[in-house]
Amino acid sequence: MSALLVSLLIVLGSALVLVACVGVLRLPDLYTRMHASTKPATLGVSLVVAGLAVHTAELGIAVRAGLIVLFLLLTAPVAAHRLGSAAYRAGVPRWSGTVRDDLADARPPDAP
């Protein structure tokens, strides 16, 4: 029963990470790729780590597993925000199908 649950978590998590990487490869511009890289990758790694915690059922390992998840949840949005704002200011082009740019008149594109 436990092995089945662990297997399910592991396969689901790995599949999500694979989806994230395929999204990074296939989507049309940087901003949509960032959408693909942050959310599914974080959830996928979290699922695999949860599988590990269920598998070992040891306190020390579960704490470290929880630390990995907590750290991912804290850092993934920060890194994505830094990268996104830096790329926008550096003038990375947007996909032709983009319908909205809220920053267009908020600040000139070449401001530091």
Residues at the interface with other proteins (CB under 8 A): 3-4, 6-8, 10-11, 13-15, 17-18, 20-22, 24-25, 30, 33-34, 37, 41-42, 44-45, 48-49, 51-52, 55-56, 60-61, 64-65, 67-68, 71-72, 75, 78-79, 82-83, 85-87, 89-90, 92-93
User: What is the distance between the alpha carbons of residues 40 and 45, in angstroms, rounded to a whole number?
Assistant: 8
Is the Cβ of residue 71 or residue 102 nearer to other proteins in the bound state?
A: 71
Shortest spacing between CB 108 and other proteins, in angstroms:
15
Shortest spacing between CB 103 and other proteins, in angstroms:
14
Is the Cβ of residue 9 or residue 99 nearer to other proteins in the bound state?
A: 9
User: What is the distance between the alpha carbons of residues 26 and 20, in angstroms, rounded to a whole number?
Assistant: 10
User: What is the distance between the alpha carbons of residues 16 and 36, in angstroms, rounded to a whole number?
Assistant: 10
Is the Cβ of residue 15 or residue 103 nearer to other proteins in the bound state?
A: 15
Shortest spacing between CB 83 and other proteins, in angstroms:
4
Q: Do the Cβ atoms of 9 and 48 come closer than 8 Å?
A: yes
Q: Do the Cβ atoms of 11 and 76 come closer than 8 Å?
A: no
CB-side neighbour CA atoms (13 Å) of 65: 18
Q: Do the Cβ atoms of 86 and 30 come closer than 8 Å?
A: no
